[in-house]
Amino acid sequence: MQTSELRILVVLSEEKNMRKASERLFVSQPALSQRLQSIEKSWGFQIFIRSQKGLSLTPAGEKVISFAREVVLKEEKVREQILELEGEVHGTLKLAVASIVGQNWLPEVLKIYVRKYPHAKISLITGWSSEILKSMYEDHVHIGIIRGDPEWKGIKEHLLTDTLYLVDTEIRKIEDVLHTERPFIQFKSDSTYYQEIQEWWHRKFHTTPKRTIIVDQIETCKQMVYNGIGYAILPSVTLKEEERDIYKIPLLDENGKPLERDTWLLGFESSFKLKQVKAFLDIAKEFSQSMNTPAT
């Protein structure tokens, strides 16, 4: 079996969803389904069970996937070692990034990275910070970028601190929240972010919002606010200074200080010995420093 086929099995086992796997592999769903059938035929047994909920491994499939992961990982490490000998920045940079950062901070950094190192490849996974940590511990990626302040025994670099704002097209001061009938629009996030907002809300208002709308993505939340449907609490990393016709009210803690949220870059020391990983770290740190440096 070719390594490319083993790689397909690994991606399918990680995503457990044909659509998501086809997007990562840059093939159509029908083509991926046909390829999987061919792979299973060559093995002589079913590797995945298909259902409306997605894909699940058969007992035999679990053994195949374990073998596939081992082979794919060994091949990647050999290729990286060979490329290291050539002196250029090659190889695949494997990133797992919190969705908010992936949408608003990462594109500018990757633009610099691909221009400077055109021979390097990029593998990117986005999701909640809890999912990113899981990918790190399972050794699926070189670098994880997450929100909050996790415990981490490897390399941990602070990237940015952003402020939380109440954002709306009508509400101009925090106290107006108690008098509006407009809904509070919330986006699904990991438990630490949600808990932080809930604690602030109850400490400030001693009550719950009159009406709420819950959406699955922060960008959906933001667009609903910008179109005047309701108000939301958004981190400053998602907001642009030039945006007009919108009120941004900073959230303050019990001491009158802005409520902030940190973003961290995590990795194991062994990963940063790879040139493509070290190069990304250098660019990320330089970019973050430029963001935090006041204009003169």
Report the CATH number at residue 69.
Answer: 1.10.10.10
Position 1 pLDDT exceeds 70: no
Task: Give me the mean pLDDT over the 50-72 stretch.
Answer: 92
Domain assignment of residue 147, yes or no = no
Whether residues 82 and 167 fall in one domain: no
Q: Give the chain's domain count.
A: 2
The CATH number given to whatever domain includes residue 235 is: 3.40.190.290
Q: pLDDT at position 71, please? A: 92
pLDDT at 212: 92
Mean pLDDT over each residue of the chain, to the nearest integer: 88
C-alpha 104 chain-centroid distance = 11
Parallel, antiparallel, or unpaired: how do β-strands 92-98 and 121-127 relate?
Answer: parallel
E strand or H helix that includes residue 92: strand 92-98
Answer yes or no: is pLDDT of 225 > 60: yes
More confident residue, 4 or 191: 4
Q: Determine the structural domain holding residue 54 and report its residue range.
A: 1-86
Q: What is the mean pLDDT of residues 257-284?
A: 91
Q: Is the pLDDT of residue 10 over 70?
A: yes
The reply to whether 176 falls in a domain is yes
Q: Tell me, yes or no, whether 286 lies in a domain.
A: no
Q: How far, in Å, CA of 126 to CA of 108, rounded?
A: 16
Structure tokens at 56: 């699940």
Q: Of 53, 86, 119, which marks where a domain is finished?
A: 86
Instruction: Read off the pTM.
Output: 0.68
Phi, psi for residue 26 in degrees, rounded to 5: 60, 45
Q: Is the pLDDT of residue 293 over 60?
A: no
Largest CA distance in the chain: 68
The band of 35, judged by pLDDT with boundaries at 50, 70 and 90, is very high
Identify the band that residue 84 occupies on the pLDDT scale cut at 50, 70 and 90: low
